């Protein structure tokens, strides 16, 4: 019998220790593993390397872990919404590697597909290319970018079954299925945890083989960065 279901976030992250490399799914605050982030803050693990598209905002998401100085290094593509992040970066307290968003996504994908590296045109001729191997294909230059190696991947799905099969919802999918494939240990929090057979196999985005631990998250705040509406 598969034993993937854990009680809660605390149990899911029990073996994450100081110095770990962790991937965290989400785009902005959309589709972030809220429960697991809070548990990491409460646990107080330090010197983390975090791989995530963004760094949250000052008081939510990964921003919570920045405030408590738990992050040693951040690998991200866009960090414009977080003033504390920018302050720590400019003062040199926080190590930061900014990489193109497509490169970030594809390096996750490569890890999950068992491919050691990929070639991409993104960043050629820029700071991003410094020290990296390049190669020409059909007259165009590409950078070699390595698959990520990450101790843990922590993602948020909409629905999951106890076998670890996952379905994501709308644009909260983003990096989540890619990171789910890319961690040595993959931890998933879901809004709805169901039994095997309850999900249509044709609708599964992430097959359970990639998932090590799964739990039902609680009290989702789902904060929105920019509420934009059409007036009636």
Partner 1 sequence: MLDKFGIAKRIAKELQDGYYVNLGIGIPTLVANYVPQGIEVILQSENGLLGIGPFPFEEDVDADLINAGKQTVTIAKGSSFFDSAMSFGMIRSGRVDLTVLGAMEVADNGDIANWKIPGKMVKGMGGAMDLVASAKNIIVAMQHVNKSGESKLLSKCSLPITGLGCVKKVVTELGVFDITSVGFKCIEYATGVSLDYIKEKTLGRLVVADDVKEMSID
Rule CB under 8 A: choose which of 43, 67, 73, 103 binds partner 1.
103
Q: Which of 23, 178, 187, 188 binds partner 1 (CB under 8 A)?
A: 178
Number of Cβ within a 10 Å radius of residue 123:
18
Tokens 């989702």: give the residue: 220
- 42 phi and psi, to 5 degrees? -65, -35
Scan residues 4-23 and list those touching partner 1 (CB under 8 A): none
Contact call for residues 151 and 20 (beta carbons, < 8 A): yes
Residue 222 binding partner 1, by CB under 8 A: yes
Q: Which of 173, 187, 214, 217 binds partner 1 (CB under 8 A)?
A: 173
The contact pattern for partner 1, residues 124-143, with x = CB under 8 A and - = no contact, is xxxxx---------------
Nearest C-alpha neighbor of 220 from the set 38, 7, 23, 51: 38
Q: Which of 62, 66, 71, 89 binds partner 1 (CB under 8 A)?
A: 89
Rule CB under 8 A: is residue 90 a binding residue for partner 1?
A: yes
Give phi and psi for 24, each to the nearest 5: -130, 120
- The count of chain residues that interact with partner 1, using the rule CB under 8 A, is 59
Q: Would you count residue 29 as binding partner 1 (CB under 8 A)?
A: yes
- Contact segment (CB under 8 A) with partner 1 among 5-13, 35-43, 116-124, 194-202 equals 116-124
Minimum CB distance to partner 1, residue 7 (Å): 25
Q: Does 31 bind partner 1 (CB under 8 A)?
A: yes
Q: How far is the CB of 177 from partner 1 (least distance, A)?
A: 5
Tokens 């970018």 sit at which residue?
145
What span, in angstroms and rounded, lies between the C-alpha atoms of 174 and 198? 24
Q: Which among 13-21, 40-48, 98-106, 194-202 is the span making contact with partner 1, rule CB under 8 A?
A: 98-106
Give the C-alpha separation, 137 to 130, whole Å.
19
For 137, half-sphere exposure in the C-beta direction (CA atoms, 13 angstrom radius) is 8
Q: Length of the chain, please?
A: 232
Beta strand pairing call for 140-146 and 134-137: antiparallel
Segment near partner 1 (CB under 8 A), from 9-17, 24-32, 196-204, 210-218?
A: 24-32
What residues are paired with 27 via a beta bridge?
30
Residue 152 or 168: which CB sits closer to partner 1? Answer: 168
| HSE-up (13 A, CA, CB side) for residue 114 | 1
Under rule CB under 8 A, residue 108 binds partner 1: yes
Q: Which residues bind partner 1 (CB under 8 A)?
A: 27-31, 53, 76-81, 86, 89-90, 96, 98-106, 108-109, 120-128, 158, 168-178, 205, 222-230, 232
């Amino acid at each position: 019998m598969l034993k993937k279901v854990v009680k809660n976030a605390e149990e899911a992250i029990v073996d994450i220790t100081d110095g770990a490399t962790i991937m965290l799914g989400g785009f902005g605050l959309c589709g972030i593993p809220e429960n697991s982030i809070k548990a990491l803050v409460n646990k107080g693990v330090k010197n983390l390397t975090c791989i995530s598209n963004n760094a949250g905002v000052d008081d939510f998401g990964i921003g919570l872990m920045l405030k408590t100085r738990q992050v040693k290094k951040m690998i991200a593509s866009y960090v414009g919404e977080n003033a504390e992040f920018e302050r720590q970066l400019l003062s040199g307290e926080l190590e930061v590697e900014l990489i193109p968003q497509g490169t970030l996504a594809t390096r996750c994908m490569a890890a999950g597909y068992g491919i050691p590296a990929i070639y991409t045109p993104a960043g050629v001729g820029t700071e991003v290319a410094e020290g990296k191997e390049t190669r020409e294909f059909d007259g165009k230059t590409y950078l070699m970018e390595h698959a990520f190696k990450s101790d843990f991947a922590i993602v948020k799905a909409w629905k999951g079954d106890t076998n670890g099969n996952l379905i994501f919802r709308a644009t909260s999918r983003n990096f989540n299925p890619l990171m789910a494939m890319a961690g040595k240990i993959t931890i998933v929090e879901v809004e709805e945890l169901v039994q095997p057979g309850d999900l249509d196999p044709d609708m599964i985005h992430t097959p359970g083989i990639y998932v090590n631990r799964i739990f039902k998250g609680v009290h989702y705040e789902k904060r929105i960065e920019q509420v934009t509406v059409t007036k009636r």
